[in-house]
Amino acid sequence: MAPTILVAGATGNTGRSVVETLSKLLKSSKSFSNHRILALTRSQSSPAAQKLAQLPHVEVAEQNWVEITPDWLREQSVVRAFIAPHLQPNQFAEESTFHVAALQAGVQYVVRISTAAPNVRPDYTAYYPRSHWAIEAMLGTPEFARLQWTSLQPNGFAPFILMGAAELIKQYRKTGTQGTLSLLLAKDAPVALIDPDDVGTFAAHLLLAEDTAPHNKAKYVLNGPEDISGEQIVELVEKRIGAKVENVVYKDMSFVDQMVAASQESKNVISSIKTAGVTMWEGKCTASTTSQAVLEIAAPKRTPEDVLKSLLDE
C-alpha cells in the first residue's frame, strides 16, 4: 500500500482545508507523488465527504479516530497524520490514546490542533486548554522521541465569533428588525481572528515538508492577518444594514449556560468555558503574536470582513 498521510476529521472545521491543500500540493510534489491522502469522516455519503473523494490522491473512509489502533495505522501505511481533537472533558484520554498508537505504529510525524496560545498552561481556569497543555507536555517527553510532532495554537475562529453578526444582518435584510447583537469579543480589545481554512492550509504545508525536524516539538501561534475589536464588528454590521445597531452585548458567554444544561458532564467543568475568552479581552491575542514560521510558510490571508462576506454569501 502507498505511504499514507492521514487526516482525522477531514470534513471538520480545519480538516477539509487540510485535505484540499494537500491534494493541490501533491500535484507538483516529487518527494510525495506516490503518497495517498486518507480522509476520515463519520459519513462517506455526506456532501462534504463526496466532494473530497473527487480530489486527486484522496481516499475517504468512515473511521472514528478515537478508535484507531496501532494495527490499523500499520495496515493503512500511515507515515504522517493530522488531528483536530474534540474539546470534551475526555479529550486527553482519547487524544493521548491516538498518539500512543501512532508512536507504536511507527508514524513519523503528527500535526495537531491546540487552542489559543495564552490559554495553554496548566493553571488556566477553563478545562480544555489544560488538556492541550497536557498533550503537548506528554509529546515532549523522552518516551515520545521517535514521534515528531507540531502543535498549532490558533486564535479564535472567525466564523464562530462572527456568526451572531451575520445572523443579525440576515434578519435585518429579511424583516427590517434587529435582535440583540451578541459578541464574544470585548468592545475595544484587538483580536486577530483566524479563518479555519488558513489553519488547515498551514497544517498541509507542514505535512508535506521535506524535513520535519525543524518543526519537531514546535508550538506555532496562528492569528488572522489583522486585528478587530467588538466595536469594529459592530461597524461592519452597521455598514451592511445601513442603520445603527440598537443593542449589543460584549463578552457574551451566555451560550455556555446552554451547554451546561445539555451536558451530562460536571457542571463545574463545563461552566469553566466561560473564562476561555479572558485572554482575548485582555488584548493578548493580536496579529503581532503570530509565529514567524507561519508567516514564512503559509501566512493567513482571510480577514474578518472576508469571513463575514462568506457567511452572508456575498
**What is each CA distance from 100 to 37, 68, 208, in whole angstroms?**
21, 10, 22
Residues in the chain: 314
Q: What is the C-alpha separation between 185 and 255, in angstroms, rounded?
A: 14
- Residue (of 97, 87, 102) closest to 149 by Cα position: 102
248 pLDDT exceeds 90?
yes
278-314 burial by CB neighbour count: b if 16+ within 10 A, else e? bbbbeebbbbebbbebbeeebebebbbbebbebbeee
Instruction: Please answer whether residues 162 and 274 qualify as being in contact, where contact means their C-beta atoms are separated by less than 8 angstroms.
Output: no
Q: Which residue has the higher pLDDT, 30 or 281?
A: 281
CA-based torsion, 62, 68, 74, 75: positive or negative: negative
- Residue (of 92, 240, 109) closest to 172 by Cα position: 240
In this prediction, residue 279 carries a pLDDT of 97
Residue 211 cell numbers, joined:
524535513
Q: Tens digits of per-residue pLDDT, 146-192?
A: 999 999 999 999 999 999 999 999 999 999 999 999 999 999 999 99
In this prediction, residue 62 carries a pLDDT of 94
100 pLDDT exceeds 90?
yes
Q: Which residues are CB-contacts of 150 (< 8 A; sequence separation ≥ 6)? A: 109, 110, 111, 112, 206, 212, 215, 216, 217, 218, 219, 220
Instruction: Please answer whether residues 149 and 109 qualify as being in contact, where contact means their C-beta atoms are separated by less than 8 angstroms.
Output: yes
117 pLDDT exceeds 90?
yes
Q: What is the mean pLDDT of the chain?
A: 96
What number is the average pLDDT over the span 60-87? 96
Model confidence band, residue 30 (pLDDT cutoffs 50, 70, 90): confident
Model confidence band, residue 235 (pLDDT cutoffs 50, 70, 90): very high
Q: Tens digits of per-residue pLDDT, 270-295?
A: 999 999 999 999 999 999 999 999 99
The DSSP code for 270 is H
- Residue (of 98, 107, 88) closest to 138 by Cα position: 98
What number is the average pLDDT over the span 68-78? 98
Instruction: Please answer whether residues 5 and 34 qualify as being in contact, where contact means their C-beta atoms are separated by less than 8 angstroms.
Output: no
CATH hierarchy code of domain 4-154+196-223+287-300: 3.40.50.720
Q: Tens digits of per-residue pLDDT, 13-25?
A: 999 999 999 999 9
Residue 67 cell numbers, joined:
478508535
Model confidence band, residue 112 (pLDDT cutoffs 50, 70, 90): very high
In this prediction, residue 1 carries a pLDDT of 84
Pairing of β 78-83 and β 218-222? unpaired
Provide the residue ranges of all domains of the chain, joining segments of one domain with +.
Answer: 4-154+196-223+287-300, 158-190+226-281
In this prediction, residue 314 carries a pLDDT of 85
Q: Which residue has the cell 459578541?
A: 183
